[in-house]
């Protein structure tokens, strides 16, 4: 049981490490982006469909970006609040927070796409028919 859990965690770590580097989480190939906001339809190495063809797939990656923005905002807000207490810069927190909530999702967008794909691949590994006629790339 522990061996199976270790393999699962190791595989997940590999997939997420590839995703953080903006590579295909399945095989590590790339590049998978044509620009900052435009992901290719298939991985150039393994042929994996990067959207995986399900309804709502785009929304999942948007949620990753929004959650990242909220976590970053919360960490910065609390840090500034604690470091400047008892006289915190409320205007900076208000306007800086608004700016942060607009900018971070755009900055984090490619990472949210690859991280959501990695998250999906952890629980639903790529099947041979999803790889565009290419052999499955094993994650060791």
Question: Rounded to 5 degrees, what are φ and ψ at 55?
Answer: -65, 135
pLDDT above 50: residue 55: yes
For the packed helices 90-123 and 2-20, what is the interaxial angle rounded to 10 degrees? Answer: 130
pTM: 0.82
pLDDT above 50: residue 136: no
Of the two residues 82 and 128, the one the predictor is more confident about is 82
Taking a C-beta distance cutoff of 8 angstroms, is the pair 47, 120 a contact? no
CA–centroid distance for 136 within its chain: 22
Of the two residues 78 and 61, the one the predictor is more confident about is 78
Of the two residues 127 and 54, the one the predictor is more confident about is 127
Of the two residues 134 and 62, the one the predictor is more confident about is 62
């Amino acid at each position: 049981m522990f061996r199976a859990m270790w393999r699962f965690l190791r595989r997940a770590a590999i997939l997420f490490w590839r995703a953080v580097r903006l590579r295909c989480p399945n095989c590590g190939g790339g590049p998978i982006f044509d620009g900052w906001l435009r992901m290719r339809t298939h991985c150039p190495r393994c042929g994996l469909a990067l959207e995986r063809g399900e309804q709502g797939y785009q929304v999942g990656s948007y949620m990753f970006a929004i959650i990242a923005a909220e976590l970053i905002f919360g960490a910065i807000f609390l840090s500034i609040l604690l470091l400047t207490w008892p006289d915190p810069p409320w205007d900076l927190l208000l306007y800086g927070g608004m700016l942060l909530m607009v900018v971070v999702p755009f900055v984090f967008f490619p990472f949210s796409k690859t991280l959501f794909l990695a998250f999906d691949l952890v629980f639903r590994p790529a099947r041979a028919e999803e790889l565009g006629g290419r052999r499955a790339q094993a994650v060791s």
